[in-house]
A = this chain, B = another copy of it.
Amino acid sequence: MRRPLVGLLSDFGTRDWYVAAVKGVVLTRCPHAALVDITHEVPPQDVVAGSLVLAAALPWLPLGSVVLACVDPGVGTGRRIVAAHADGRFLVGPDNGLLWPALGQARTWRAVDVTACRQRLAVRSRTFESRDVMAPVAAALARGTPLARLGPPVRRLVPLPQPAVAGRRGRWHGQVIHVDAFGNLLTNLPGRLVRRAGVMVRCRSRHARVVSSYGRGRRGEVIAVVGGVGLVELAVRDGSAARALRAGRGTAVELRHGAR
């Protein structure tokens, strides 16, 4: 029997009944799903952090997996809810940039608008769209319902609201947008900026050597690599770049071309 994985990512925390309600609806509609929590500890309403965890986890889930992702500061403001297919896996979530990096790293994707999907629960109390809309849609996808049957196609999604990167004469001013559990610093600098010779990356007065992979760093050295979601990351081999650089979210990172 098919046993589809349904992953869950949110900023709900695990103290309350919200995650259980979402899971209850998924298992009511698709009793054979294997539920996997990606995380429910995304900082509240932090779409950027949630989008990066989602993009990092997705490629490791089996083909056919469905991920319900909900970090949704705009609930009730008319934003759409979308379902998408990306390289053999499915995503369901608000159209607020949360799915953007995960779709952006896929070879191909397509999406539909499920805001008014017929699968949605008829609930009269407080609106709770991850339970009432996203969970039934995720269960339908897990059962094998074709994406196109769940709603009208969506051509463009809302991009991730990343802080802008100002570039001038080969200089780029970025910042740390996420610190992962190892203390690696994800920046908003696109990876393509370091794919040439003579690139210098600097953070809190320290230079990071650009290398092709984490394993190329020397112990204790600050390095810059292009991470899984295509952004420049700062890391320290066998250590924490966050600690070594006393850096956190918002810390400035400078990238210069043509430096010697």
Contacts and interface: CB of A to CB of B under 8 A. Distances in A.
A252 interface: no
A213 B27 contact: no
Q: Quick one: which of A35, A53, A181, A237 has the most chain B CB within 10 A?
A: A181
B31 A31 contact: no
A149 interface: no
Given A61-B24, A62-B31, A17 B125 contact: no
Nearest to A76: B238
B20 A36 contact: yes
A34 B35 contact: yes
Contacts of A125: 213-214, 228
Interface stretch (A37-45, A92-100, A192-200): A37-45
Nearest to A18: B181
B214 A16 contact: no
Contact of A126 (B38, B62, B214): B214
A24 B5 contact: yes
A126 B238 CA distance: 11
Contact of A24 (B3, B20, B21, B57): B57
A32 interface: yes
A13 interface: yes
Copies of this polypeptide in the complex:
3
Interface residues of A, number: 52
Nearest to A23: B36
Given A17-B39, A181-B18, A62 B27 contact: yes
Given A125-B228, A131-B60, A181 B12 contact: yes
A60 B14 contact: no
A148 interface: no
A4 to B, nearest CB: 9
A5 B22 CA distance: 13
Given A20-B38, A60-B131, 17 more contacts: A5-B24, A5-B27, A14-B40, A14-B41, A16-B39, A16-B180, A17-B53, A17-B56, A17-B60, A20-B61, A24-B36, A25-B60, A27-B36, A27-B62, A124-B213, A125-B228, A127-B215
Interface of A: 3, 5, 7, 12-21, 23-25, 27-28, 31-32, 34-42, 53-54, 56-57, 60-62, 65, 75-76, 124-127, 131, 180-181, 213-215, 228, 237-238
20 contacts: A3-B32, A13-B181, A15-B53, A16-B39, A17-B39, A17-B56, A17-B57, A20-B39, A20-B57, A20-B61, A23-B36, A24-B65, A27-B34, A27-B36, A28-B62, A31-B34, A31-B62, A126-B213, A126-B214, A127-B215
